[in-house]
Each structure stands twice: as C-alpha cells, then as structure tokens.
Structure 1
Amino acid sequence: MRIGYLSKVGAAVTAFFTPSTFQLSGGANSPKELTPTKSVAIIGAGAGGTSTAFYLQQLLEPEGKPLNKHKLLYPTTITIFDQSDKIGGRCQVFFTTNPANPEKNLPKEELAIEVGASIFVKVNHHLADSAKDFGLKVKELDNELLAIWDGDEFLFVESSWKFWSILKGLARWGFAPIKLQRLLKSTLDGLLRFYTSPESFTSIHDFATSHDLHKEASILTDQYLESNGIGLAYSQEVIEVATRVNYGSNLDDIHALGALVTMAADDAQQIEGGNFQIFEGMVAKSGAEVRLETKIARVRRLEPQVAGDEPQFEVTTTTGQKQIFDYIVLAAPIESTNIDFDISLPPLPKVDYRTIHATFVRGHINPSYFYTPSSPVRSSQPSANQLPTHILSTKSRSEFTSLSIQARLSTGETITKIFSPEALSIDLLDRLYVNRTWVKHKEWKAYPKLKPIPLAEDPSEPEIVLEGESGASASSEQVVFEKHAKKQKAKEENDAQRKALEAWGQVEVVPGVFYVNSFEPLISTMETETIAGKNIARLLRERIEGHCPVEKITRK
C-alpha cells in the first residue's frame, strides 16, 4: 500500500517537472527540451581556422558517434569566412602540366607546385593523422638531396648514400650535429606533450611555460647556440641556412625556439596534389558553412538584452550583409584584415610579418652558374639533372636564399622555386638558366619575425616589511618614506612583469573573441596553427557546454 502510494506521488512529481509533448503543425512531436543553438564565426580559412572548426565539431559530438552537426551534445553552428576564393590560407599551390613524352610512354600529367607551407613531418600528428584519415596520398621527400651554397662554391653536398653524408658532416662540423639533436629532443618532447594533455590555455605565456618552451623563445639563436657549445661553422652553415629558408631570418634575428623547430625536419613529406587538401578535408568533416570571397568589414559587440547573458557579436561584410554570432574566432593576422573591431580590443602584441619573394621558373638550369673550372667539389661540370634537388644558401655572397627543383619534366626542363628577400633581376635569371619557358612570381607576407619574447612571471603584490616601525631606530617620517618607496618599487616591478606578460599575447583577447594567430610569435608552422586551433576549440567547448562530459579539460 505504502509502495503503491509513493510510486503514484513519484509519477505525479515527474509529470509536473517534465515538459509535455505537443504536436507541431506538420503533425510531428516537438522535442521535450529545446537547447539553444550557439553560433561561432571563424574569420579565416587557413590552417588555424579550419582546424578550429574541425576539432570543435569533434569535441561537441557524442562520444563514439559520427560527425553530425544536428546531433551534437550542444547544438552549434559554425560559419567560416575568407576573403580568398580558396581554402588553405598561406598554404597554396599553382597547377601546371608535365607534357606527354610518347618516346618514353609518359602521358600528360598535371602537377601541383607548393607556393608556401611546402612540407610537414611525421611528428606533426595533426597533419599526418588527418592526411591518413582523409585518404590523401602522401609523398615522401627524404630521398631528395640538398647542398649548401655560399655564393661561390658548394660547402657541402649530400650523398645518396646516407652513411657517407654522415661521415662528411662529422668531418666538417665535428660533434655539433649530435649536440643539436640533444637540444632538439628536449624541445620536441615539450611540444609533443600537447597531443596527450587535455589542458586548454588562454595565455601563450602559460602554454609556453607549461610545455617548457619559454626559455628558448626568449633568447636569440646565436646566443643560445654559443651557450650550448654549438660551433660557429655548424651554426652558420647548417642552422642559419635552415632559418633563412623557413623564416627568412639569420641567427641574430630569430629566437632559439624558431630555429630548433626549423631543424626538426626529418621524415619530410607533402600531400600529392597539394597540402591544402588537408584543410579542405577538415572543413568538410566539420560541417561548417563556408563563405569564400567574403571580406569582413566590421565586428561589433552587442550588449546582452537580459542581465547575466553573454554578449553577442554582429559581423558585417563589405557588401553590407549582417549576421549575429555568439563567439568570434579570428584566424588571420589582425594586421592584414583591416576589420573594424568595435569591441574595445586591448593592445595586442605587435607582430611584424616578413615579406618573401617566391619565383617559379620552367626552363633549363645552367650548371655553369654553380660549377666553375676551379670548383673544389667536382673536377668536371655535371649536367643539370645531376644538380642537388635543394640548394640552400648561407648569408655570404649568395644572390638568393634557396633554389629547389619542384619537378623534372619529360622535356628535360625543370620547374624550380627560388626564395629571395628581393625580386630576382633579369640579369640573375639569365645567368641561372640557359633558357626559360615561363616565370611566375609571388610576393607575400609569408611568416612572422620570430623575435625573442621577454621572460615574465605572474605579477603579485609582495609583502612590505619595514624595520624600525616598532622601535626608535627610525622616525615616523622615515618609516612612511621607506614604505612608500618600497610600494613604488613593487608597483614598477609588477608593471614591468605585466608588460612582459602582454608581450606573449592572449588567446581570448576579450570575452567571446579568440585569436588563433596569437600563437605565431611563439612558433609559426602549419602544425602549430592546428595546435592553436584545437586549443581554441577546447576553450569554445568549455564555454558552450559549461561542463566537459567528453574529456576533462583544465584551464591554465
């Protein structure tokens, strides 16, 4: 009797607190509980923007179920804007053809030549795993030989026999390569912790210190290498050669973290048909709405209509179209967007981007440019087909930063990519090539200048301890003066620390607005853009859900 009574009471209470189902005009039942849909605008369809969308969709979906934007734990719409007509941002290609060669039974072939962001490596787990998951074909590049050129002669030429190359390197640079590998392991171990850590970060400084990257990011590479016993010859002939190609920087104007990441290029690879396909795949998997050739003119903060609600943001395009979003992700360098941010942005760290000239030439390379009768490397001049695939230059007398053979055509021609700090002159092209079928040129802001970021600690108010306050050894006026002086000194120190922390930048620049490229002064690669994107996806999920049922995330 008692049990039956309690069950009836329980049923009545349940019915009272459970919304009843009613019929929609179409005859279907309405859901019992309506969860408001959140909206995210991502401005920029490069590596950072597309990976933010991809990982946010993954984090919001029920565990173990396929991607479906209509069945997320918390319904969320994602809209990606980009002023370009392509996905990939600075990861771009141009297409050309390799003519057919009937004599060798070679058909006509379409070639994709990488303009920027040419390679990634196997430890770049986001890129490598995505390429595998999306069924993209990977091209291994480790068999491509390189040489170091000083403007007059080759200082070092790799051999197809790897062991012989190692012996030649030891003979020229001693044990410096081994010392560098030890430094690289420590840095990479710190960076690789991101893949297994569930933490999210709103501060770049917190990310760097948590992954033991802050010290290397705070010192110039030449000073860092000298303090770690890396010889000058190896520093200038190998490490600086790499930083010149990857970041257009010499060792005295790039922080050590950037140089170390540059040197971690073993197992280089790229996607056949273009690396941009990884980011196209991320967009497709995210279910985001994509609006290409759409430039954003203004982002305006809207005050909440109900007390306690979060503000929203009105996004206006240059054509006057307006749309309201709950969250904004800026995934492009803020300096290049020309967006009017009517949201009281705080001062952001100034990031200068380096201008790079990329020149693509189809023609016949002139070997005489590199090999003279007095060349110490060879006694006889080789053919163009025997030239190393990649010729990288020191900062001495070289007229370019690097020259890389992108394709060897059936006609005997090559397609080469030349990086240089200035546009190449016609005179130089005439000396570099016997003849040229075509020349293409691109000038763009390729990557940030990786300047050292000052070390900083969280500012705090120190305890003021004064002698003489309880005795007669000091007058009351002296005590007041000393106390004021110590407080002033503490304030100055804290102000300096705050400025140092500001130099690192914030991920969430104001509530609800996230900046992917705040990560770039620390490291700038395709992979680290996806790391920044995944970190923002974690922060967005925290905000959207209010709790983390899929995986525990700790805010640093």
Structure 2
Amino acid sequence: MMNPHTLSLRALLFLGLWHTGRRSFASAPGLQDPPKKIAVVGAGIGGTATAYYLRQEFGPGVKIDVFEPGSVGGRLATVQMGDYEYETGGSVIHPLNLHMKQFIEKLGIPPRKDVPSKMAIFDGRELTFEESDWFIINFIRLLWRYGFSFLRMQMWVESILDKFMRIYQYQQYGYSFTSVERLLHAMGGDEFLTLMNQTLEETMRSEGFSQVFINEIVAPITRVNYGQSVRIDAFVGAVSLAGADSGLWAVDGGNKKVCSGLLYHSKSELIPARVTSISVKVRPSKTGPTSTFYELNYADESGSAHALYDIVIIAAPLHQGKSDITFSGFSPPIPSHYPGRYHQTVSTLVHGTLNMSYLGTSEPASEFTVSDIFTTDSKDSVINSLSSIDPVHIPSGYKRPPASQAKVWKVFSPQPLSQEQLKDMFLSWDSVSETRWLAYPSYRPPHRKTPPFILHDRMYYLSAVEWAASAMEMSAISARNVALLAHHRWHHQVGKINQEDLHTRLRGEL
C-alpha cells in the first residue's frame, strides 16, 4: 500500500514536471548554434514524443522532419466496427505514467469515461475465478485460496514503482543516460539489473509466493499484457503486474490521438515515406573544419529521395520483421537488425454473441457481465485473453451490454484464429477485424546487453528501451532521455550525462 509520504512525493514530482517544463537551453549563453535539421524515423508514441521534446530542447529554429510510411500512432491504433471505433493496439495507461498524463493535459485531450469492469480467469476448460460485484466477496474468495498474496504482490510492485518514479525527477533536472542499463541502474540500482537477469517466476518464488498463485493469478496477467509466460524477466514482469492495478485509464477518442497531438505541437513536418538507408556524409565547412551529416534515403509513392540531417533519431525497432534500414559508411558498422526477436500477438475484434459453453459455465448469458477474461498458461488455453471492449469515445448514456447481446469482443492470441475456433467461441458474428502485431520483444532472461541509445556521434536509437519493457510510458521516458542526450552532446554538456547517485544528490531539492 502507498504511504502518505510516497503519495506526497509523487504529487510534488508531478507538479514539478508540470510547472517547471524545460528551460530553453538553445538560447543560453556560451552554447554553440543549434542544429539546422533533425530527422525522427517513426511516428508512434516514441517518435512523436521525441519530436515534442526535441522542440523543447533545441528551440524554434531547428527543422524537425518525422518519417512514417504508415499511420501516425504506430502500435497505437483503432479500427471502425459498426458505428464506433475501438482500440486494437496499446489500450491502457497506468495512473503513475506522468509523461502520458502531462501530454493529455498539454494537448487538452480528456481521459475516456470509465466504464466499470469485472474480470474472470479461464483455464481453457472452465472459469476458475469470477469477480463479484461485491468487494467483500472477492476479498474472502482470494484470501481463502491465496492468503495475503494479493496484498503482498501489490506491495512488491509498489516498491519497484517507487524506485521507477525517480526517473521523472532526474529528467526534470535535465539528466540523461547513454544506455538502457545505466538508466535502469539510476532508477533502481543493482536490483533493477538483477530483475532483468532472472525470470518473474524465480523472483516471485524467492519472495515467498506460491506456485499456485503464480500459475493462477500472475501468469494470466503476463499473458494478457505481453502474450508470454511467467518465464519473462522479472523487470518486465513487474511492469506487467503494475498494468493490473486499479485506476488504469485511456484517452478519449483513442490513444493514438496523443501521437498526432504531439506531432502538431512539435511543429514538425510529417513525411509519409519509408526510410531505406542512412549513410554518413562529410562536407567541407566555410569556417574551416569539415562537418558530418547523415543522409537519409527514403521512398514514397512517387519514388525515392534523400536529405541531409545534423541529428537523426530512430524511433522504430531495428529488428527482423520490424524495419529494413541499411547503414553504410559507419565505423564500427551498425547492423540493420539487432539480436532478439519481436513476439507476435494477434488482436482479433469480433462483433458477435459469446458462446457461454466455451467458458465451461452454466451461468445464463443474460447475467454474465464479466468484461475481461484472462487465461492460465495451460495446453488448453489457445487464447491469451478475451475482453468485451468499449468504444474509444463513450457516448452519453452508454452501458456495456451483457453477454446475451451481440457486442465487440477483443481476442488476443499467439496465432490467427481459425473459423473453427471462432465457431467455438461465438454463437454468431457479423464482422471480424484481425491485426497481427509484432507488439513487443520476446523477453527471455538472462538479459543480453540492450542495443545502445547512441548508434553514432549524432544518431540515436530510442527503441532500445523496449528490451527493458515495452509500454507507452517507457517510450515516452526514452523519448525524453534521447532528446536530452542529443541536446547535451550537441552542446558538450557532459555533466548532465550518466551521473551516478542522483537520487542521493537530488533528494533535498524537491
């Protein structure tokens, strides 16, 4: 549970982030001229947040181009079904995600209206737990089967979140880090690095949690959030468990609206093209020494083109199946694909009527008001989750229908659903929308060294952070870090990079 001191510290952190903003380093005395052109490759939450923070850091004079061959928003996406739009990508935001909170305040976008929800656990044959409308009944059921494990899990996650929250203080004061490992170490010391090198299952067993609790409660949470088992590493596992907290929220009209809003506020130019290659170009300078630029070659519907930039930020994963950018002229060479693979999750939206017998229950569909069905990691579980979802904009007077009526369900599964599987799950349906996501890395400890934030002198890799944990807020944190890093290195401000013991040094400054 949160103690009053922690609550007040978090409130102060948020107020500090909100009111302080970034000082305009670009106009400070003694700094060299700002860059003329910056390229950002990718317009998901990471790329658009980077453009937003780069504008804060470098001021109004720099031209920022954002390259995106697809839709702005990346893995934040919606689909139209009937009269409404529904979220098919990243759908929930944690109440302590301070950057995302600040974004919607800045953009003037309200959070989506909350619709009360209930959850159940499904083992592939039957429902092993179904949440009641009554808190005391849920509490007694969980206490009877798992003791105080739920409370202890919440306290364990809270202890990790308390350290995680330090990053907001460091970034408020302008500190940045050159690698994911250094950033994590600044937040949680050796503990966070240790968490990345052992499985969630191993860590929770060592913390005294029973295998039954891990199998029946923890595994369903990791399956719905990352499509993977409790054998993911413990750091991303803790992030996943935080995603099961109360108070989760979403953006009215769809989370992708944050991306388009950040892009607009960054005053960047969106170039709807795919970057194919990046090379180093050395040009003579009028003042004497040569200057280094990055040439981006890109292709759109009308053909191919190229342009030179002072700074490049890559906000798209450099992994097999995710991008095919080639790098030439770099020493040491930069790979087109880093080791590791992205995990497939298929998001299938079905407007139809649920088959209650699929869940192995005799409960009448008219009385079944569960909205989120999580699954255990068993051979009978062919899906990761099944959720009744609401439109991205909740109309006035909206009430979620019971399972006896046709409504939109979202199914997460590792593979596309066959017609036979759909027939098992639904009595009938009138529309289906399938999206295949390479949504997040496949997390398997021991942790291999993450790709660097710095690919070359003035070229940066934002998506390296996903190998710690993939989440909207992680991308926003990485965006702020990379923008700070690019600014400090451009102006040779080494005192703001990779500083140790920041928590101790800044403790008295809030």
Give the TM-score normalised by the residue count of structure 1: 0.75
Matched, 1:516 2:499: no
Which residue of 237, 262, 269 corresponds with 1:289?
A: 269
Distance 1:372 1:543, change over 3 A: closer
Q: Distance in 2 between matches of 1:36 and 1:54?
A: 16
Output one character per residue of 1:156-195: Cα deviation in whole Å (capped at 9) or x when no partner: 1112223332222111211212222222122111211111
**How large is the RMSD of aligned CA atoms in angstroms?**
2.3
**Conserved? CA contact 2:282–2:290, under 8 Å:** no
Which residue of 355, 358, 366 corresponds with 1:369?
A: 358
What amino acid is aligned across from residue 270 of structure 1 in structure 2? A
**Conserved? CA contact 2:127–2:361, under 8 Å:** no
Distance 1:547 1:169, change over 3 A: same
Structure-2 residue corresponding to 1:386? 368
**Conserved? CA contact 1:367–1:384, under 8 Å:** no
Matched, 1:206 2:182: yes
Distance 1:276 1:338, change over 3 A: same
Structure-2 residue corresponding to 1:484? none
1:151-550 correspondence runs (5 A): 151-197=124-170, 198=173, 199-212=175-188, 213-252=192-231, 254-265=232-243, 266=245, 267-292=247-272, 294-306=273-285, 308-318=289-299, 319-335=303-319, 336-342=322-328, 343-344=330-331, 345-346=333-334, 349-373=338-362, 381-384=363-366, 386-396=368-378, 397-407=380-390, 408=400, 412-454=405-447, 503-547=449-493
Q: Distance in 2 between matches of 1:547 and 1:151?
A: 56
**Conserved? CA contact 1:349–1:504, under 8 Å:** no
Distance 1:133 1:205, change over 3 A: same
**Structure 1 position 35, deviation (Å):** 4.7
Structure-2 residue corresponding to 1:377? none
What amino acid is aligned across from residue 553 of structure 1 in structure 2? K
Q: Distance in 1 between matches of 2:131 and 2:361?
A: 19
Give me the identity figure in percent.
27
- Looking at CA atoms only, which structure, 1 or 2, has the larger radius of gyration? 1
> Please, which runs of 5 or more residues in structure 2 have no aligned partner?
1-31, 391-399, 500-510
**Conserved? CA contact 1:333–1:517, under 8 Å:** yes
**Conserved? CA contact 2:276–2:326, under 8 Å:** yes
Output one character per residue of 1:425-477: Cα deviation in whole Å (capped at 9) or x when no partner: 212211221211111112121111122244xxxxxxxxxxxxxxxxxxxxxxx
Q: Distance in 1 between matches of 2:50 and 2:167?
A: 15
Q: Distance in 2 between matches of 1:329 and 1:164?
A: 51
**Structure 1 position 261, deviation (Å):** 0.6
Aligned residues: 440
Output one character per residue of 1:302-329: Cα deviation in whole Å (capped at 9) or x when no partner: 1242565552101111222111000111
Q: Distance in 1 between matches of 2:446 and 2:62?
A: 36
1:69-148 correspondence runs (5 A): 69=60, 75-84=61-70, 86-98=71-83, 111-139=84-112, 141=114, 143-148=116-121
What amino acid is aligned across from residue 480 of structure 2 in structure 1? K
**Structure 1 position 412, deviation (Å):** 3.3
Which runs of 4 or more aligned residues in structure 1 lie more than 6 Å from their structure 2 counterparts after TM superposition? none
**Conserved? CA contact 1:82–1:291, under 8 Å:** yes
SS of 1:538's equivalent in the other structure is helix
Structure-2 residue corresponding to 1:58? 56
Output one character per residue of 1:481-530: Cα deviation in whole Å (capped at 9) or x when no partner: xxxxxxxxxxxxxxxxxxx6xx1331002211100111111111011001
Output one character per residue of 1:329-360: Cα deviation in whole Å (capped at 9) or x when no partner: 11001122211111343467513101111111
Give the TM-score normalised by the residue count of structure 2: 0.82
**Conserved? CA contact 2:76–2:256, under 8 Å:** yes
> Please, which runs of 5 or more residues in structure 1 have no aligned partner?
1-33, 62-68, 70-74, 99-110, 374-380, 455-499
Distance 1:261 1:77, change over 3 A: same
**Structure 1 position 385, deviation (Å):** 5.8
SS of 2:389's equivalent in the other structure is strand
**Structure 1 position 416, deviation (Å):** 0.5
**Structure 1 position 143, deviation (Å):** 2.3
Distance 1:409 1:179, change over 3 A: closer
**Conserved? CA contact 1:327–1:513, under 8 Å:** yes
What amino acid is aligned across from residue 65 of structure 2 in structure 1? T
SS of 1:218's equivalent in the other structure is coil
What amino acid is aligned across from residue 375 of structure 2 in structure 1? S
**Structure 1 position 113, deviation (Å):** 0.8
**Structure 1 position 123, deviation (Å):** 0.4
Which residue of 24, 38, 44 corresponds with 1:46?
A: 44
Q: Tell me whether 120-129 or 141-150 shows the greater mean CA deviation.
A: 141-150
**Structure 1 position 133, deviation (Å):** 2.2
SS of 2:82's equivalent in the other structure is strand
Structure-1 residue corresponding to 2:13? none
What amino acid is aligned across from residue 419 of structure 1 in structure 2? F
Q: Distance in 2 between matches of 1:554 and 1:142?
A: 43
